Structure formats: structure tokens, C-alpha cells
Chain A
């Protein structure tokens, strides 16, 4: 059986676990733990310690795995391990939290340096009233014109499907061009 892997990354609380949850056919093997830090607890109650793990079976010969990286920097030693053999990656950004934009850009650059694989940026929480528009986010995060920056609501399956499909289209385009 062939297994392919995509990475879902982004800062703490950007919506990676929700993203995988929305589309995985199995209950996500989430390694969420209660948050130890008082600061982090005010943002959400649990966070991803090592990785989230979702699966989409294509047929008996092919399976797609979605790996969510831990958002906190103290677990970034895991990122490199998770990135090995990835087909592509999604960088999640919480569009309502400008305090995380610098971190999102840093994570993006880290993963870009791991491997020259295609990636897309998902501007999450676009359904919330204080979300920054995608055009503004592109400038704020200095995302090049050729890179897809997609509106996203990680708790909605159709929105998550769209992000994954756009990543796969980018992968396909790159294959066709080489």
C-alpha cells in the first residue's frame, strides 16, 4: 500500500487540529494534552503535544495521512521529523490574531527550508468579524504572488476540502512543469 503525507502547520491555536478533524475519516489521533501554562490556557484548554494524525483512504492501495504539528516553539524539534517525506504542506494562520503573524511567517520559512515542496497558506477563521482580509494578510505575511493564500474556516469540511484540493493542484502543476 502506498502512503502519502501532508503536513498541517502553523502557530499555536491557529486551527490545525480542527482542520484535520473536519476531513479525517478516522477520529483524529490527537495528542492534545491539558495546557500546562496559565497563559496558554486562556487561549484554549488543550494543545497538540507531538502531532495530530488524520487519515483519508483513497482505496486499498493508497492512503493520505495528515499530520498536524505542535504549535508551540518548545516542540519544534518534532517539526523536522514530521516534515520528512511530505508531499506538501499547509500553513494555518489565525486571521483574527495579528500577534501570531510573525510566528506564522517564521514557521512558513522553516518548513520551506526543510524541503522545496509545494505549500499553501490557509487564512483561518475567515467567518469571524475581526478577521483580516486575505489580500491584507498576503502583504502582512509577505506571501509571494505565486503562492496560494486561501480563505478558510477549519471547522467546515468544504472549506478544508478546498484548501487540500488547491494544495494538490499546486503539486500537480509542479509535476507537470518538471
Chain B
């Protein structure tokens, strides 16, 4: 069964994070939401999938293709949009090569010296990113991820690392409530993941993001880091959200704090002996 839900509950940025970390191959489809009479478990209106709005394909956790339903995403339009083909050139090519696949057309255009291979790759890459950045701003719509489903082989697919896309997605979040829900507690600290060197390779961080990264240490709470950098809580949350979603930092409890969010630490169970736990295990096994 495909992975499914609604980007209202599990955002596009979170989906990209999941696909990236799980190294998934397949296609994410986002639909128009059609309201139903039912409510979901959190009391929201349950949306049924309607018309397709976007399809985004991934291979082993990398973005390889993206298309909006209402946008002409063929190679000629993409090259025209990036200024590699003039309107007139695009019109003529469309007339003469209407049944030619993108891959075959790219070869023809390169051989005819209209464009270079680099032009094709950079234009397709930019188009793919533009589509994904567009859908990062969507806040509603059922989605489905179909494992192993990929666009036809005649499409041009350029692999793009998702870390930078995820961080850009976090920079574009305008709703503070999303950030508050994701990072309610700034009294937690940050640490680097085990494969940090590999993770940070090729990642483009802003000056503010690098400043935060330079303070990452399980001894520093996010609140302390924000204060040290003269940063508001929301600015801090936005940056941390991006770093977290891209898998560049992890949340940890700082050693000096047992109590979080002002909550009371409840009394622990009276000392229980190992033999008691072993008796419980034996009893449950026997049920």
C-alpha cells in the first residue's frame, strides 16, 4: 500500500525529509483536496484525493523529476523559460518535433549546436527545483507516494540532493504555528548526526544558519544559542526546523536539565529489583 496522507498534517518538507532519509525510490503525487462529510482523527475535514496537482519523482532519496499538472514541462518550454531558446526557436522546434521525446530532442538540439549539454542539465534542474519550491508553499492536499513508480525513461532526469531543497523549504515557512508545533521546546540542545561530515558535504547554508551550526553542542540549549546570536525564538525555530528536517542536527536533552517546559518530574517507581522484572517477563510469556 502506498504511503498516503494530507500535506496539511505531514508537510511537503517533512515528506522530502522522509524520502531523503529512507532513500526512497518512487513518485509523490499531490492532489486537489475534495472535502468529504467525514472528519479525521484530529477533527479536521477529511479530504478525498481529487485532480492531480503535481508529481515529483525520486531515485534512492534524490529528487529526479517534478511536474505541475497545469504547467507545460516539456524540454522546449523549459529551455525557453531559462532563455536558452528564443520564443521563435521554441515555436519552430515544437512544430517540427512535436512527437519527439525530451531525451531525443535534447540530443538533436545539442548536435545542432542550439544548446549545450550543460544548458539542458541546468535548465531541467532549475525547472525541477522551481516546481518543488512552488509546492513547498502548499498547505493542503492529499498525497500518495508510490514506491518504485518512475517517469518514463524518455524524460530527462537530473538527480538533485534533497538537503538544500529541505533547508530552502524551511526558509519559506511563513506560519509560526507550524514551527511552534514542530519545535515547542527551546530548552533542548542539539548535536550532530553520526555521519555529519557526509551530511554537510554540498549543503549551502546562510550566514545565520552557519552561526547556529557553530554553536551545536549537547551542552547548549537552543534558547541559549538564540540568545548568544541575538535571534528571536521564531527565527531560531525556523533555522533549526530546516536543519532538523535535512538531518543535519539532532535534538537531545541537555545534561543539566531534567525538567522540561516547566513540567514537574514525577516520582520514579520505587526501586524494582531485576528479579521482579524477570518474573514479569516470565508471566507475560506464559499468557
User: Are A114 and B14 CB-contacts (below 8 A) given A58-B280, A62-B276?
Assistant: no
Task: Determine whether A94 belongs to the interface, using a CB cutoff of 8 Å to chain B.
Answer: yes
Contact with A along B167-185 (1 / 0, CB 8 A): 0000000000000011011
Chain A, 54-112, CB within 8 A of any chain B CB: 56-59, 62, 64, 80, 83-87, 94, 97-103, 106, 109-110
21 A-B pairs whose Cβ atoms sit less than 8 Å apart in the complex: A5-B269, A43-B39, A62-B279, A62-B280, A64-B280, A80-B263, A85-B269, A85-B270, A97-B40, A99-B6, A99-B40, A100-B42, A106-B181, A113-B260, A113-B265, A114-B265, A130-B1, A130-B4, A139-B18, A168-B284, A171-B277
Q: Number of A residues whose C-beta is below 8 Å from B? A: 61
Closest to A113 in B: B260
Q: Given A86-B269, A115-B265, A139-B18, are A102 and B9 also a contact pair (CB < 8 Å)? A: yes
Binding site for B on A (CB under 8 A): 2, 4-5, 11-13, 23, 37, 39-40, 42-43, 56-59, 62, 64, 80, 83-87, 94, 97-103, 106, 109-110, 113-117, 129-133, 135-136, 139-140, 142, 144, 157, 161, 164-165, 168-169, 171-172, 175-176
Shortest Cβ distance from A20 into chain B, in angstroms?
13
A-B contact count (CB 8 A): 139
B residues bordering A, Cβ < 8 Å? 1, 3-6, 8-10, 14, 17-18, 21-22, 38-44, 181-182, 184-185, 244, 250-251, 258-261, 263-270, 272, 274, 276-285, 287
* Nearest CB of chain A from residue B99's CB, rounded to whole Å: 40
CB–CB A43/B41 < 8 A: yes
**Could you tell me the distance between the alpha carbons of A159 and B41 in the complex, rounded to whole angstroms?**
23
Taking the nearest CB of chain A, how far is it from the CB of B45, in angstroms? 10
What is the CB-to-nearest-CB distance from B274 to chain A, in angstroms, rounded to a whole number? 5
List of A residues within 8 angstroms of B17 by Cβ: 139
Closest to B14 in A: A140
Closest partner residue, chain B, to A11 (CB atom):
B41
Cα-based distance from A176 to B239 in the complex (angstroms) = 40
A56 near B287 with CB under 8 A, answer yes
Q: How far is the CB of A140 from chain B (nearest CB, A)?
A: 6
Given that A4-B276, A117-B268 are known contacts, is A140 also in contact with B284, CB under 8 Å in the complex? Answer: no
User: Taking the nearest CB of chain B, how far is it from the CB of A7, in angstroms?
Assistant: 10
Residue of B nearest to A58 (CB): B283
- Give B1's nearest chain A residue, CB to CB: A129
Closest B residue, CB atoms, query A176? B274
CB contacts (< 8 Å) of A11 on chain B: these are: 41
Do B43 and A39 touch across chains, with their CB atoms under 8 A apart? yes
What CA separation (Å) do A70 and B80 show in the bound complex?
59
Which residues of A have CB within 8 Å of B281? Answer: 165, 168-169, 172
